[in-house]
Amino acid sequence: MSNLDVRPKPVQTGGRDEVSARPVHELLPPRRVPLGESTVVRRLLPSLGRRMVGAWCFVDHYGPDDITDEPGMQVPPHPHIGLQTVSWLHGGEVLHRDSLGSLQTIRPKQLGLMTAGRAIAHSEESPRAHSPILHGAQLWVALPDGHRHTDPKWEFYADLPVVTAPGFTAKVLLGELDGAASPGTTFTPIMGADITLDDAADVRVPVDPDFEYAALTMSGRLEIDNERLEPGSMLYLGCGRRELRVRGDEPGSFVLLGGEPFEEKLVMWWNFVARAGEEIAQAREDWMTGDRFGTVEGYHGDRLAAPAMPPTRLKPRGRTR
């Protein structure tokens, strides 16, 4: 998925200086951002004050939206470098195309994982014949320096490992939870799991005390570590826990994101993750001149033009501001 801001602001992030080594509660305020023709997302990461959770560097939540008489998601071809994208649905379908020639319809609780590496382009759209409700999350993972120029790759997994315990069921998107490991390729110690609670559940989810975590609520009104959360909100939790208590008076679900704090400092702008402003400028030029990123075949419409570069020099900094 793309950052479609016409005036994107540079985000300097990474480094361990502002990682909380102890449990905390930090509610991340969403920012409403239009995405394509008819979709509005709630951007939760990067946010004011918090830029990353482990290697997770971008989180959008959208829906549930009634798109019965709408085109739904329509994101034209656009470029990426230096990251992985994770497409995760609770409702509807998304048709993925990329410059590798991949063509895949993603449905709820299926993993679409794209490693951009040195360069890739892709589009995302609701199929012409689509379900009435669109609901999901789009996530980015920053690639560490040793892998950020890797070959681009597309992975799709219709079936993912499941963890079951009294009161909840979890699907493992990336990494590992309670011994169940996702088949998705990772490049840093990281985890992501979609956790569904039964009615009136009161559960404890095992977590790694060396990871920092955040919880993105997808449905239901949940109480996570004694914080009451509405759907579409995200709570940063810091490090230092061995278990996470979750309660719900009704069935609900949330995505738990975690990882080892990301040491490297990054610069993010538009759809690029790099280490220096010069890399961002070169990637933008390559996209505009048709070099490096390839062509997305089959999308009916123009590709996205890159916004103008900001007037100030982009510099990598820490993970908060």
Is 135 annotated to bind ligand? no
For residue 45, give both structure tokens.
């990461």
What is the number of other CB atoms lying within 10 angstroms of the CB of residue 231?
19
For residue 173, give both structure tokens.
């998107």
CA distances from 204 to 87, 123, 198, 246, 318 (A): 26, 38, 13, 6, 32
Cis status, amide bond into 209, omega within 30 of 0 = no
What are the φ/ψ torsions at residue 247 (nearest 5 degrees)?
Answer: -130, 155
**Rounded to 5 degrees, what angle do the CA atoms 253, 254, 259 make?**
150
Is 124 annotated to bind ligand? yes
Cβ atoms of 255 and 5 closer than 8 Å: no
Cis status, amide bond into 64, omega within 30 of 0 = yes
Residues making up the chain, counted from first to last:
321
Compute the distance between CA of residue 188 and CA of residue 200 in angstroms, rounded to an integer.
35
Is 96 annotated to bind ligand? no
For residue 89, give both structure tokens.
């649905």
Sequence-distant (6+) residues with CB within 8 A of 290 are none
Residue 168 amino acid letter: F
Partner residues linked to 87 by β-bridges? 112, 138
**Rounded to 5 degrees, what angle do the CA atoms 237, 238, 244 make?**
50
Residues within the annotated binding site?
A: 78, 80, 122, 124
Residues within the annotated binding site for Fe cation?
A: 78, 80, 122, 124
